[in-house]
Amino acid sequence: MRPLHIITPVKDSIDSTIQTVKAILASDITRPYKYTIYNDFSTPENTAQLERYSKELGFELVNLSDITTHPSPNYLLVLQRCQALALEAGADLLIVESDVVVRPDTLQGLADGAERYDDCGIAAAVTVDDQGVINYPYEYAKGREGEDYAVKRHCSFCCSLLTNRLLAAYDFKILNPEKHWFDVTISQQSRALGFENYLFASLPVIHRPHASRPWKQLKYTNPLKYYWIKFTKGFDKI
Closest CA to 117 of 190, 16, 195, 44: 195
- Specify whether the CB–CB gap between 169 and 87 falls below 8 A: no
C-beta pairs of 136-141 under 8 Å, 24+ apart in sequence:
136/207, 136/209, 138/199, 138/201, 141/199, 141/201
Find out whether the peptide bond into 214 is cis, omega within 30 degrees of 0.
Answer: no
- Specify whether the CB–CB gap between 29 and 96 falls below 8 A: no
Global pTM reads 0.89
Over range 152-176, report the average pLDDT: 98
Over range 92-118, report the average pLDDT: 98
- Model confidence pLDDT, tens digit, residues 179-211: 989 999 999 999 999 999 999 999 999 999 865
Over range 99-121, report the average pLDDT: 98
Select the more confidently predicted residue: 168 or 238: 168
Helices (H), the chain: 14-25, 44-57, 75-89, 106-116, 164-169, 183-192, 218-221, 223-233
Over range 99-110, report the average pLDDT: 98
Q: Looking at the domain covering 4-233, what would its CATH class be?
A: alpha beta
pLDDT reported for residue 63: 98
- Model confidence pLDDT, tens digit, residues 45-87: 999 999 999 999 999 999 999 999 999 999 999 999 999 999 9
pLDDT more than 70, % of the chain = 88
pLDDT band of 33, cuts 50, 70, 90: very high
Select the more confidently predicted residue: 189 or 223: 189
Measured distance CA(130)–CA(134) in Å, rounded? 10
Measured distance CA(50)–CA(126) in Å, rounded? 27
- Model confidence pLDDT, tens digit, residues 122-156: 999 999 999 999 999 999 999 999 999 999 999 99
Measured distance CA(140)–CA(134) in Å, rounded? 9
Closest CA to 101 of 54, 159, 62: 159
pLDDT reported for residue 220: 47
| Beta-sheet pairing, 120-128 with 196-207 | parallel
Domain ranges of the chain: 4-233
In three-state secondary structure terms, 87 is: helix
In three-state secondary structure terms, 181 is: coil
pLDDT reported for residue 228: 57
pLDDT surpasses 90 at 120: yes
Closest CA to 107 of 210, 213, 21: 21
Over range 103-120, report the average pLDDT: 98
